[in-house]
Every structure is written in structure tokens, then in C-alpha cells.
Amino acid sequence: MTDTISTVSLAIAQERKIVTAIPGPNSIALQKRREAVVASGVASALPVFAERAHGAILVDVDGNQFIDLGAGIGVMTIGHTDAAVVAAASQQLRELTHAMFTITPYESYVRVAELLAEHTPGDFAKKSVLLNSGAEAVENGVKIARSYTGRAGVAVLDHAYHGRTNLTMAMTFKAMPYKTSFGPFAPSVFHAPGSYPFRDGLSGADAAARTITYLEKSIGASDLACVVAEPIQGEGGFVVPADGYLAALQEWCTANEVVFIADEIQSGMARTGRYYASEHFGVEPDMVLTAKGIAGGLPIAAVTGRAEIMDAPHKGGLGGTFAGNPVAAAAAIAVFAEIESRGLLAEAARIESILKPAMHALALKYPIIGDVRGIGAMIAIEVVQHGSLDPNPAAVAAVTAFAAQHGVILLSAGTYGNVIRFLPSLAISDDLLREAVGVIDEAFASL
Ligand SMILES: *Cc1c(COP(=O)(O)O)cnc(C)c1O
């Protein structure tokens, strides 16, 4: 049974193939059905419906095969329908689908917490709570930090994305489409300036001084429970902070007994060539949030932090019906095993070594590419108006649409919608990456 599933998946050739107009007739028919019954607030980046996927290739309902440089927003880090993940989840599905950890606990939840304690940054005693989604991990991180400090204030950085629930909408920077018309928002959330080298030109020390001045003057350390920061911002446009910025911020948090929380929901789980991007910046957060890439597409998320902080909430204060579901937990255990046995941390560096030079070459050819940045398999280009820093979201929309027509899934990002982010699966081959770069080149040439 398990073998049948993986054999079928493995049958998808790792090649780009466009056999109909995009969208094809089956996608168009599904789109009609969708419009009748799916709330229109749920939008989709591509006009095609997915049918199957394996590795770095996604097949639509018309048989078109796309090189997937989005990986479901960095979820399919180890590749679509990874055979080990499929086998582990299938097996678990037959043995125990749900028990509810807060009624009758089970081993896989404990095992995931052990793996997180081992692989998150820092050599201190750690504990975890498992949840269903990234936003829920952010919410629980804040709950725990408040419980531990007895303070209410939550500071986040400009351009941050933390989710779509009420508290996390308050923590997210961008109004449209995430917040507009959905307020009022949770109180005691403060947006501090961060570090965005391409736009602010500040050194890490100067950007940190600016952030810290804001925290001290506008909030006051004694009212602040936590600072929540993405080591590399995801939706914000893969913004990599200037050298020293995160370390200075953490140092200030430690000195002021403020919990430093790294939202690694997009940047974690091997995406940047380390388990967590924090490691590139020499920081060991008090708390790390994990979701997207942790379970090969199954929904599970985690808050992992210093044991004394994690133990602050009273018994029964944390939980959730589906939180830490056994099938998703089994998949997560398989993902950790795959990262180790296939040496996937090194694959992120391989991807960077192809994508970054290729994007620098395109930036020379097309000067509207103003910045190339990122680490590992988390690389982005920021597109501007010729000769200025003014954002060029129209060019990004045209390039991503062209790429979709030509069999490459490209995702945009950024507060100004002018960033193209590449977050392919670590399973993508050099040849597929180079082929996708060729399509992106053609897309810029067509502008
Ligand atoms: C995706 C994301 C979230 C929210 O995760 P969901 O699972 O969509 O709730 C939070 N923070 C970051 C950095 C993310 O990329």
C-alpha cells in the first residue's frame, strides 16, 4: 500500500512540460465551480489547479508540469511527496489518527519535541508545545512570554509577517491584503523599525540602535514581554538584516529580561542550509517558532524555548484539539530523518551557488533588478524603477505571470509587492534550476 503510493508519486518525471494553454480546460472548469462556492477572499497566485507533485515538479489537472520555485511557500522543503514522509504518515494513519495529546499522550509528540530541542539553536534545556499552524505558534509564543514575564507588550519589526489570526494580524505589517477591514486588532502590539539594508542603508549597529531607541522610548522595557523577529523576513521580501543587527537586538532583550522570539516559520527547517537561520547570525533565541517546512506538507507547528520560560504557563494553559496530531508528528519525524540521511543542509548551499550568481548576472542585464539577497534556498530579487529605489510591482506581476505561462511557479513578496522570492525544494536538480533561470531571463526580456 505504502509502496504503491510512493511508486505512483515517483513516476512524475522531473521535467517542465506545458501541454495546454495556461490555464488549461480542466483548470478553467474547476475555476468556474470554485467561484460558485469558495469565498472570494481566498485568492490564488496561479490560475491552475494542482493534481499531483513530486520532488520539485507540480502537475496540474491538465497534465502541465511546473518547476516549483515556491514549494507551497517553503513548506515542501525536502520535496513534494517525499517517499519517507509518505510512508511514515501512511503507516501512522492506520495505527493512530488522533488521540488528543491533552487526553492520552503518544510518543511521536514527545519525539518531535526531542528533535526540536536537539536542532534549534542553543545548548540549553529546551521544551516545546506543538500546534497546528504558524499563526498558532506565534500566538502561543506570545502567551508563554507574557506568562513568564508578567508583562503585556509585544514588539515586532516593520515589514514583518506573523499570520492572519487577530493577534498575528496586529503583529503583521502590511495592511492590504492581510488587515484591511478586519480590525479592531489586539492591543499592546508595537511595530519597531528593523534592518532593511537595501532601503535604509544602515549598518547593523545603527539599525539596532534605532530599534532599541524605539523600544525604550516608545514602549519601555519594563512593559515588554517579547520581541518577535524573523531572522530573514519571509513575506516582507526575504529581507536579510545587516551584520550584527540581530545579535545586538538579542543582547538588549537579554539585558532587559525581554523574551527574544525568532519566528523561523519560513526561514527554519534547513531552508537556509542550517536548521535555523538564526545560526547564520550567531543568535540563540529564547524561543524559536517552527511550522511550514517541518512535516513535508502536513499541518503541525511548534514553539520551542528555554525550559524555564516554556514551563511558565499553568497546567492546562496550552493545547488544542488537533495540535501535534500523530500523523503530522510522524511526518515531522521523517522530515528530520531525511534532512540527516540525505545531507539536505548542504543542498541549500548548492542552490544558493547556482541561483545567486545567476541572479547577479540578470541584475547586470536588467538594471531594474535592484537587489539580490538571501541565504541558501531562500533567495530573492527586489525589482525597482530604472535608476531609483522606487518599487516596481508591475514588473514583478508581469514576470511571475510570464513564468506561470512557461511552466515555472514563482512567488512574489514584499511590502511593496516588488520582490520575487525563490524558495525551491532542496530536492531540485541543478538542471531544473538553470532551466527556471532561463525562463526568468526570458520573462525580464519580454517586459
Ligand atoms: C507563514 C508564516 C506565518 C504564519 O503561518 P501559518 O501557518 O500560515 O499560520 C507566520 N510567520 C511567518 C514568518 C510565516 O512565514
If you measure from the C-alpha of residue 234 to the centroid of ligand 1, how many angstroms do you get, rounded to a whole number?
9
Angle, in degrees to the nearest 10, between helices 83-95 and 326-341:
150
The C-alpha cell 480546460 sits at: 25
Q: Quick check: do 7-78+343-445 and 85-341 share a fold?
A: no
Give CA–CA dist 244/308, Å, rounded: 27
Residue having the nearest C-alpha atom to atom 7 of ligand 1: 134
Grid coordinates in use for 265?
516559520
> What is the per-residue pLDDT for 165?
98
* CA-wise closest residue to 402 among 365, 359, 356, 447: 447
CB 348 within 8 A of CB 270: yes
CA distances from 62 to 47, 152, 397, 405 (A): 12, 52, 24, 13
Query: What single letter denotes the amino acid at residue 196?
Result: Y
Ligand 1 atom with least separation from CA of 292: 7
- Residue of 162, 168, 271 to test ligand 1 pocket, by largest number of atoms within 8 Å of CB: 162
How many C-alpha atoms does 228 have within 13 Å on its Cβ side? 35
Query: What single letter denotes the amino acid at residue 391?
Result: P
Fold (CATH) for 7-78+343-445: Aspartate Aminotransferase, domain 1 (3.90.1150)
Ligand 1 atom with least separation from CA of 138: 10
Strands 378-383 and 369-375, bridge-based pairing: antiparallel
Angle, in degrees to the nearest 10, between helices 430-445 and 393-405:
120
Query: What single letter denotes the amino acid at residue 245?
Result: Y
Ligand 1 atom with least separation from CA of 263: 13
Q: How far from chain centre, in Å, is Cα 64?
A: 26
If you measure from the C-alpha of residue 236 to the centroid of ligand 1, how many angstroms do you get, rounded to a whole number?
12
If you measure from the C-alpha of residue 432 to the centroid of ligand 1, how many angstroms do you get, rounded to a whole number?
27
If you measure from the C-alpha of residue 351 to the centroid of ligand 1, how many angstroms do you get, rounded to a whole number?
23
> What is the per-residue pLDDT for 10?
59
> What is the per-residue pLDDT for 1?
39
If you measure from the C-alpha of residue 447 to the centroid of ligand 1, how many angstroms do you get, rounded to a whole number?
32
Q: Which residues of the chain have a pLDDT value below 70?
A: 1-10
- Residue of 76, 172, 232, 265 to test ligand 1 pocket, by largest number of atoms within 8 Å of CB: 265
DSSP state of 368: T
> What is the per-residue pLDDT for 11?
79
* CA-wise closest residue to 135 among 310, 374, 320, 342: 320
CB 114 within 8 A of CB 107: no
> What is the per-residue pLDDT for 59?
98
If you measure from the C-alpha of residue 25 to the centroid of ligand 1, how many angstroms do you get, rounded to a whole number?
33
Sequence-separated (6 or more) residues with CB below 8 Å from residue 205: 244, 245, 248
Report pLDDT digits (tens) over 157-171. Answer: 999 999 999 999 999
Ligand 1 atom with least separation from CA of 299: 7
Give CA–CA dist 400/112, Å, rounded: 36
Fold (CATH) for 85-341: Aspartate Aminotransferase; domain 2 (3.40.640)
> What is the per-residue pLDDT for 4?
45
**What pTM, to 2 d.p., does this model score?**
0.97
Give CA–CA dist 63/23, Å, rounded: 11
Look at the alpha carbons of 216, 136, 110, 151 in this order and tell me if their dihedral is positive or negative.
positive
> What is the per-residue pLDDT for 5?
46
If you measure from the C-alpha of residue 162 to the centroid of ligand 1, how many angstroms do you get, rounded to a whole number?
5
Grid coordinates in use for 59?
502537475
Tell me the DSSP string of 213-281: HHIIIII-GGGEEEEEE-SS-TTTT-PPPPTTHHHHHHHHHHHTT-EEEEE-TTTTTTTTSSSSGGGGG
Ranges of each domain in the chain: 7-78+343-445, 85-341
Ligand 1-lining residues (CB < 6 angstroms): 133-135, 138, 161-163, 230, 234, 263, 265-266, 291-292
| CB count in 10 Å sphere of residue 282 | 12
Ligand 1 atom with least separation from CA of 235: 15
If you measure from the C-alpha of residue 253 to the centroid of ligand 1, how many angstroms do you get, rounded to a whole number?
23
